[in-house]
Amino acid sequence: MRSLRVLGVDPGLTRCGVGVVEGMVGRPLDLVDVGVVRTPADLDLAKRLLRLERALDDLVVRLRPDVVAVERVFSQQNVRSVMGTAQASGIAMLVAARHGIPVQLHTPSEVKAAVTGSGRADKAQVTAMVTRLLRLDAPPKPADAADALALAICHLWRGSAQNRLAAAVAAAGGTR
C-alpha cells in the first residue's frame, strides 16, 4: 500500500482553509502544506470566486494531491453564510475535477469523530488532535487551516478504509 496525499478544503469565501497531509493508515502522518485563501468581503462575488479558483488551482498544480476532501455543506441558520460556503465548495470540486482528481465529501461530525473519537468534539479538541497527529510545534492557525488538515486526516483514515472495503467487495463479485 502506498502513501496518499490528500488536500483538505474547509470551504469559505472570506477564509477557505487548505491543508495537505500525506500518509497511510498505521503510519505517522506528514504535513505537506497548510494555509488559508482569503478574499475581501467587499469584492464582487464573481471576482471572489475567481480568486479562490485561481488559488486552489495553483495549489493543486504545485502540490499534486491524490484526492481532495471537502467539508460537506450543511444547513445553518445564516443562509447567506451557507451560500458562500456552498459556492466555495463547488469551486474546490470543480478544480479537482478539472485535474482528474477524485473528490470526497465529509461531514463535520465525521471529521470530528475520525480525528478525536467524538463527533461532538469542539474546535479546540480538533485542533489539539491535529497538532498532535501531525507532530506540530504549535497549533495551525487560523481555525480554518486546522479544519482543513482535520479533513485531510479524516479522509486518509476513513476514506482509505472505505476504498479498501469497496475494492474487496468488488473483487469478491458482490455489490455494496
Q: Which residues are catalytic?
A: 10, 71, 144
Is 66 known as a binding-site position? no
Q: How far apart are CA 31 and CA 34, in angstroms?
A: 8
**How many helices (H) does the chain have, and how many strands (E)?**
6, 5
Instruction: Supply the DSSP string of 24-61, one letter for each residue.
Output: -TTS--EEEEEEEEE--TTS-HHHHHHHHHHHHHHHHH
Q: Tell whether 10 is in a known binding site.
A: yes
- 33: annotated binding-site residue? no
Residue 97 φ then ψ, to 5°: -60, -40
Which amino acid, residue 128? A
Binding-site residue positions for Mg(2+): 10, 71, 144
Residue ranges for the binding site?
10, 71, 144
